[in-house]
Amino acid sequence: MSAAATRAAVSRFTLRVPDSWFEFDVWRATRTGDLARLVDARIAKYPRLRPYRATLLTLLRELAERAERQGAVYCATATQDEEGTGGLVATLLVFHTPGADDPAGNTVMAIAGQVSAAVCTEPGEPWRTVKIVTVPAGEAVRVQGVERHLVDGVPFETVTMQTLVPVPTTVPVPTTIPAPAAPAESVERVDGPDGGGAGASAAVASGDGAGGTEGTDGVLNVVLTSPHTALAEELLDLFGAISDTLTWSPESPSI
């Protein structure tokens, strides 16, 4: 599509996640039977999962509800074992925020300047790096490291990667980048609710509340997290491989 495409055409983004992950649109997951269809499609492919249907469905529903409370538009997750009985290994959430009121605050350089890096001073301590990267969706700010949070007053560390991309108001020319140096499985297609193996895809709201800045329609934030800090290096490689597949798609959602 040409650069003259209308603003409304930039309505979707696409990500690739491993086919072992569960992925879903957050709005539909909390209002339709998508999650049940997703689990049933996986059971049809792997009948040994049938005894764990209720466990998987509960896990995904709880995650979908939490994602909606946080304002995410898209979610994917990997379970610790294929039965879904061992908790979550990693979670992917995508957020679309209005961005700054000042158009100058929504550039990649401006976003990067608002995030501070943190050096690890002792083993096991949190750390954070900030850099500008290029993904198929364009230039982005990559924030990664081990972050510390308080959960009910108790410190809790997670491996975290955020990829923040200004959302264009017109379809940009696709950016060609080298294939990410990560396990091949990290960029495979994912089985959607219909079992069709379509890539992870979701809508980005356009217009109202989207920032109103010339040339951008807010900021898309791709956030991957995992509690398994001992595997930080391997997880960040995987998170990078997934995030580096982010691209814009002009196609209208298929209902």
Q: What is the pLDDT of residues 173-230, one digit of tens each?
A: 555 444 444 333 333 222 233 333 334 555 554 433 333 334 568 899 999 999 999 9
Q: Which of 232, 226, 182, 189 is nearest to 78 (CA)?
A: 226
Q: How many CB atoms lie within 10 A of CB 155?
A: 9
Residue 152 has pLDDT above 50, yes or no: yes
Residue 66 in any domain: the answer is: yes
Residue 255 in any domain: the answer is: no
Tokens in use for 31? 């209002």
Distance between CA 38 and CA 187 in Å, rounded?
A: 20
Residue 36 in any domain: the answer is: yes
Distance between CA 204 and CA 11 in Å, rounded?
A: 5
Count of domains for the chain: 1
pLDDT tens string 111-129: 999 998 988 877 778 999 9
Q: In which domain, by residue range, is 29 found? A: 14-249
Residue 1 in any domain: the answer is: no
Residue 11: its pLDDT value, please?
47
Confidence of residue 12 (pLDDT cuts 50, 70, 90): confident
Residue 160 in any domain: the answer is: yes
94, β-bridge pairs? 74, 222
Distance between CA 193 and CA 67 in Å, rounded?
A: 18
CATH of the domain at 106: 3.40.1000.10
Confidence of residue 65 (pLDDT cuts 50, 70, 90): very high
Residue 254 in any domain: the answer is: no
Residue 9 in any domain: the answer is: no
Q: Which of 69, 7, 66 is nearest to 218 (CA)?
A: 7
Residue 208 amino acid letter: D
pTM value is 0.76
Residue 202 amino acid letter: A
Residue 239 in any domain: the answer is: yes
Compute the mean pLDDT over every residue in the chain, rounded to the nearest whole number. Answer: 77
